[in-house]
Amino acid sequence: MIALYNFHSHSHHCDGKQPMEEYVQAAIDKKFIALGFSAHSPLPFPNEWSLTPESFKQYVQDARYLIEKYKNNIDLYLGLEIDYIPGHSEDFESFITNTPLDYHIGSVHLVRHSESGKIWFIDGPVEGYIKGVDEIFNGDYRAAVTAFYRQTIEMINTQKPQIIGHLDKVKMHNKQRWFSTSESWYQKLVDETLEATAKSKSIIELNTRGFYTGKIDQYFPSTKILEQCLEMGIPVMVNTDAHHPSQLDKHFNEAHQLLKKIGFKNVKTPFFELEL
């Protein structure tokens, strides 16, 4: 069995459920070797789920305190899940220089329409997802999904994220209803995204959250994309995107078994590699 690790977790500082120390204690109980905190980066508009500039300070303080307190028990890391929204989010570099982070994840949850500037939230309830496509993209799912991948590619090219969060999350609410992920236009967008990833040397995370919350019957990204990663030499790791301490190891072993079955020989985190 592979050693337990997780670099994607959200505590009560953003949209998670419990204080950070409860995640640390749960991770120690389960004999994790490493745990990373990755709160949602502050955004320049009010929302329910990201850090605010004030809670960001508290988050960093809490993380530093816990890293020191538990240094003999577990390796803890201060990270951030940074949203990339052209024209709205700060450059990743500014987060990294203003606050010495141990690592970061780059993710797209909010897709900006390049002409109107309106923003489509892909991660909330399905009603909002549909309404966004209708109102911002005139009901054109292909245009909306294309905008998601274009923004992801731009993030990879301009920000060079260390880890790319839930690469194909745009499929979560779709369930093959409005577009098919096997259509050639969709596959072409994925191909371009992976070509950018191979150049940026980012790590792609296999994110188990959509699966264990029952929102979708597969992981992010899909098995087909993971197979492409192997062919292209793109490193992968597993994260559970835990929003509660009990979710720290959800589908951790199953996800590693899948990677092994696909043919991966190891997983790569920003700090170490483990053999499968």
Interface residues toward Zn ion, by CB under 5 A: 81, 107, 165, 241
Shortest spacing between CB 275 and Zn ion, in angstroms: 27
Nearer to Zn ion, 81 or 249 (CB): 81
Nearer to Zn ion, 126 or 232 (CB): 126
Cα–chain center distance at 16 = 14
Angle at 35 between CA 31 and CA 38, to 5 degrees: 155
Q: How many CA atoms lie within 13 A of 193 on its CB side?
A: 29
189: left (phi over 0), alpha (psi -120 to 50) or beta: alpha
Would you call 268 helix, strand, or coil by DSSP? strand
Residue 231 CB partners (closer than 8 Å, separation 6+): none
Shortest spacing between CB 23 and Zn ion, in angstroms: 13
Nearer to Zn ion, 84 or 179 (CB): 84
Q: Do 221 and 193 contact (CB within 8 A), yes or no?
A: no
Shortest spacing between CB 166 and Zn ion, in angstroms: 6
Shortest spacing between CB 5 and Zn ion, in angstroms: 16
Nearer to Zn ion, 107 or 146 (CB): 107
Would you call 82 helix, strand, or coil by DSSP? strand
Shortest spacing between CB 240 and Zn ion, in angstroms: 10
String of DSSP letters for 183-210: SHHHHHHHHHHHHHHHHHTPEEEEE-HH
Cα–chain center distance at 171 = 14
Nearer to Zn ion, 52 or 187 (CB): 52
Shortest spacing between CB 239 and Zn ion, in angstroms: 8
Longest dimension (CA), the chain: 55
Nearer to Zn ion, 165 or 221 (CB): 165
String of DSSP letters for 87-121: TTSPPHHHHHHHS--S--EEE--EEEPTTT--EEE
Nearer to Zn ion, 92 or 260 (CB): 92
Shortest spacing between CB 126 and Zn ion, in angstroms: 17
